[in-house]
Structure 1
Amino acid sequence: MADRRPSLTRSGAEEISRLREQPAAIIIIEARQLIRDCLASSLLSQSRDYEVETFSSLTEWRRERSSPPRPGTVVLRYVSGPRCRKEIEREIEDLAVDGDVSLVLLSDTEDVDEMLEAIATGAKGYIPTTLSLDVARGAMSLVRSGGVFIPSGSLLSRRAGKPGDPVGPRQMFTPRQAAVLEAVQHGKANKVIAYELDLKESTVKVHVRNVMRKLGAHNRTELAVLSFNLPGSGR
């Protein structure tokens, strides 16, 4: 028994390392071939950090894949109309048998109630087709990291009671908060932000915490992704 443990430990570590080195997997499910091919081509043209496969249905994906999905796989499901709760629940239940797989909906609609319903049912993301490709990529990275994505602009417009009016950083934050947020979007650490804005690091932490609270973000990555969708954010 003692002789076998080192071998098993090395084998397990090698397997974990191998999985981590593999690119992220995005599975596009859409019945219309032109749409799924265009979406896959657009994603791959922006980055080679992940593999993209396309299928007409979940059934086809399961039938044609050669091995179980790797951990962290994102299933991007294109939906062209309203989805009822039972439909989403059924798809999430179907995906549950595949292990660590997250469902993200790509939709032509921006109905906030539908977004919240989808997330409450178990979807990990809701991406309207009005968003940029860069934001969509960021949303899927957020989901792979364990987060949940909903367009902040839609939620903020609803909260303000003016669906047609854009709500940007200038309306939501103080000038200092907006400056700190912009630095966070560029991936800068608190020490760097403090130096560039001539602030104490503790003050920067307070600003970051307040901005996260306003956007409903749970970490800096989620904060950056949510803020990219704000009107006037420069993305």
Structure 2
Amino acid sequence: MITESLEQGRSLEKADLGTRSEIHPPSIIIIEARALIRECLAISLQRRLTYPVLIYPNLESWKNDRAESVGGVIILGKQNVRNNNDLSRIVKETCENAGEIPVIVFSDEQDAAQILNVLSYGAKGYLPSATPLELATEAIKLVMAGASFIPANVVMTEARDDVVSVTDCGYAATKFTGREDDVVQALLKGKSNKSIAQELNISEDSVKVHIRSVMRKLGVRNRTEAVSKISGIIRESLSS
């Protein structure tokens, strides 16, 4: 059960760390102004991941307490800001204070310009609140392992007002077949194998074959790494 310290504004999960080991394991740090969202997100992630979860209502409360915590990743959620300039300032300040701890921005917004702006300040990931929990947890693990994550479908849709083929980014034109490209588009939207099969009118076994082929061509080990790699390719294409 996750509870929040009224004095420190953080998870009491931390109190148990010293009894497990002299070396504290890395924690998932959630900084989110909305109490219900903060606590629900913490409970959901703790059930799916093996890391302790620490929660804070704002950046200042974490900064006051960070000497006592060992961060593995920071999830920066909604803050009490007036405009995008304030948000950019907080993202930049969080990344600067985080040091080597990767920062993921969790937001209701899916605007491509804001996403690219956030990444330019040092964030290693961007998770829209509409992201399925399964994909979100995989993305967090990926970022903690040193990679970056951004839902490519968000960037493509917002930046070009249409769903753009991955081949349009100048990377996979000679590698992905038309059907593989269709499967990649569905993966970028977080769809399951069953949903992809229904959408493309093919069997789930065929979907698995296409996904394995895509992973092999990208040189990755799983679908989350595939999404992350293609996201990075698209991000670079849009930034150039």
Normalised by the size of structure 2, how large is the TM-score? 0.57
Change (3 A) 1:31 1:155: closer
Q: Once the two structures are superposed, what CA deviation does each residue of 1:184-226 show, in whole Å capped at 9, x if it has no partner? A: xxxxxxxxxxxx97xxxxxx699614xx7xxxxxx54663344
Q: Once the two structures are superposed, what CA deviation does each residue of 1:138-159 show, in whole Å capped at 9, x if it has no partner? A: 1111211221111011233356
CA distance in 2, matches of 1:208, 1:107: 32
Share of identical aligned residues, percent? Answer: 28
Which ranges in structure 2 are unaligned for 5 or more consecutive residues? 1-20, 168-172, 187-207, 232-240
2:211 is equivalent to residue 208 of structure 1: no
- Where do 1:63-102 residues align within 5 Å? 63-65=64-66, 67=68, 69-70=70-71, 73-79=72-78, 84=84, 87-102=87-102
Structure ID, larger Rg = 1
- Compute the displacement of 1:179 (Å): 11
The Cα RMSD (Å) is: 4.2
Structure-2 residue corresponding to 1:55: 56
Partners of 1:44 and 1:52 within 8 A in 2: yes
Change (3 A) 1:145 1:34: same
- Compute the displacement of 1:28 (Å): 0.6
CA distance in 2, matches of 1:36, 1:138: 19
Structure-2 residue corresponding to 1:132: 132
- Compute the displacement of 1:121 (Å): 1.8
3-state secondary structure, aligned to 1:79: coil
Structure-2 residue corresponding to 1:34: 36
3-state secondary structure, aligned to 1:140: helix
Number of aligned residues: 179
Change (3 A) 1:119 1:174: same
- Compute the displacement of 1:160 (Å): 5.7
Structure-2 residue corresponding to 1:150: 150
Q: Once the two structures are superposed, what CA deviation does each residue of 1:40-84 show, in whole Å capped at 9, x if it has no partner? A: 01111223x2111101122212334563535xx211111278963
2:231 is equivalent to residue 224 of structure 1: no
Structure-2 residue corresponding to 1:186: none
CA distance in 2, matches of 1:99, 1:157: 32
Change (3 A) 1:134 1:24: farther
Normalised by the size of structure 1, how large is the TM-score? 0.58
3-state secondary structure, aligned to 2:141: helix
Change (3 A) 1:83 1:168: farther
Q: Once the two structures are superposed, what CA deviation does each residue of 1:78-135 show, in whole Å capped at 9, x if it has no partner? A: 1278963564344433543443212111111111111111111211111001110111
Change (3 A) 1:114 1:22: same
CA distance in 1, matches of 2:98, 2:116: 24
CA distance in 2, matches of 1:42, 1:23: 19
Structure-2 residue corresponding to 1:174: 177
Change (3 A) 1:53 1:66: same
Change (3 A) 1:83 1:77: farther
- Compute the displacement of 1:175 (Å): 6.3
Which ranges in structure 1 are unaligned for 5 or more consecutive residues? 1-17, 183-195, 198-203, 213-218, 230-235
Partners of 2:45 and 2:137 within 8 A in 1: yes
